[in-house]
């Protein structure tokens, strides 16, 4: 166990060091890379990815994977814009969007565990159904926008009191503390790690696998919906495919941050480190004037290299 914890901490520290090194390289090679506005932009983009990656972190610790995240992000983005554009109070809009997202996520978890179907298949199928229903509802042309309060919350030019960053950044720090405490100090968090580490033995420890899977995927969908609403404020308009880049990036952030795709290992602090690495890579490549196609190819190759470095350790259950 101590060897496992030491290795996990080393991976997290290593990811933060990689992010710092990438930022140093960008500062040397690209004029204005470390300018205040550029840093605020990088932090906001990273924060949006960090919110979207919460659910993937929880699901991967459980031993699953959630491919519905980008679809739920798009669903929340479009639904919030449509309802707010029709005159709904935005508080009620959020309740409806979050409520539906939680139901979708709970269905993902219940079907995966209850019918013993791999979550990759279930979440992809459910996600495509959600996307199709949104397209039918909006006829492919979503309308509406976010209230000014949401736009200000995520605005790169915004500030929070004396802090020269938008409220999204301190809010993410608070959310991180809460998530870490839930994972490390609550019975639900301990059950999540136990079920991911050894799903066969977990029921003997009085853990209800169906409940843990259902609640975990419900939480994943909630945070995906939150990311969709925040992206609505960030972009200013609804877009059904706004979540598509987050499919690969959320998985990569979790694994670069030290999580094991087979379950039982991972932390949200590690995911934050992975988020910073991905954001720095993407920003650096764009700053070096790579073409969009070259950025995508280079980004994928670099992430494949980083992820391969974390895939060589034995599964957690073999180290206990």
**Is residue 296 packed enough to be buried (19+ CB in 10 Å), middle (13-18) or exposed (0-12)?**
middle
Torsion angle (degrees, nearest 10) of CA 114, 127, 270, 294: 140
Q: What is the pLDDT of residues 101-115, one digit of tens each?
A: 999 999 999 999 999
Residue 318's pLDDT is 43
Which parts of the chain sit beneath pLDDT 50? 1-2, 311, 314-320
CB-hemisphere CA count at 13 Å for 265? 28
- Specify the pLDDT at position 6: 60
Burial of 100 (0-12, 13-18, 19+ CB in 10 A): middle
**Rg of the chain on CA atoms, in Å:** 19
Q: State pTM to two decimals.
A: 0.91
pLDDT score, position 14: 83
Pairwise CA distance, residues 150 & 168, whole Å: 10
- Region of residue 87 (phi > 0: left; psi between -120 and 50: alpha; otherwise: beta): left
CA 44 vs. chain centroid, Å, equals 14
CA distance 191 to 195: 6
Q: What is the pLDDT of residue 4?
A: 52
Model confidence pLDDT, tens digit, residues 142-194: 888 889 999 999 999 888 888 899 999 999 999 999 999 999 999 999 999 99
Instruction: Give the angle subtended at the CA of 257 by the CAs of 256 and 260, to the nearest 5°.
Output: 80
């Amino acid at each position: 166990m101590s060897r496992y914890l030491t290795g996990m901490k080393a991976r997290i520290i290593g990811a933060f060091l990689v992010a710092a090194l990438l930022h140093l390289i960008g500062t040397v090679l690209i004029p204005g890379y470390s300018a205040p506005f550029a840093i605020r932009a990088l932090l906001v983009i990273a924060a949006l990815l960090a919110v979207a990656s919460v659910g993937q972190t929880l699901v991967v610790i459980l031993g699953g994977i959630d491919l519905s995240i980008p679809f739920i992000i798009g669903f929340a983005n479009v639904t919030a814009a449509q309802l707010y554009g029709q005159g709904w109070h935005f508080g009620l809009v959020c309740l409806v969007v979050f409520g539906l997202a939680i139901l979708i996520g709970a269905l993902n978890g219940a079907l995966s565990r209850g019918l013993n179907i791999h979550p990759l298949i279930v979440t992809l199928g459910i996600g495509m159904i959600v996307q199709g229903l949104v397209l039918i509802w909006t006829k492919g042309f979503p309308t509406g926008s976010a209230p000014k309060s949401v736009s200000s919350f995520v605005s790169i030019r915004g500030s929070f009191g004396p802090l020269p960053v938008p409220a999204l950044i301190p809010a993410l720090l608070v959310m991180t503390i809460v998530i870490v405490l839930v994972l490390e100090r609550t019975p639900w968090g301990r059950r999540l790690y136990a079920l991911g580490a050894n799903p066969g033995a977990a029921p003997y420890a009085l853990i209800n696998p169906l409940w843990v899977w259902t609640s975990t995927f419900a939480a994943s969908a909630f945070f995906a919906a939150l990311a969709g609403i925040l992206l609505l404020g960030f972009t200013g308009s609804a877009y059904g495919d706004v979540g598509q880049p987050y499919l690969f990036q959320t998985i990569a952030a979790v694994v670069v941050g030290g999580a094991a795709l087979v379950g039982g290992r991972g932390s949200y602090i590690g995911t934050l480190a992975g988020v910073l690495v991905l954001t720095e890579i993407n920003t650096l490549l764009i700053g070096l004037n790579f073409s969009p196609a070259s950025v995508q190819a280079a980004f994928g190759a670099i992430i494949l290299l980083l992820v391969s470095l974390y895939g060589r350790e034995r599964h957690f259950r073999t180290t206990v």
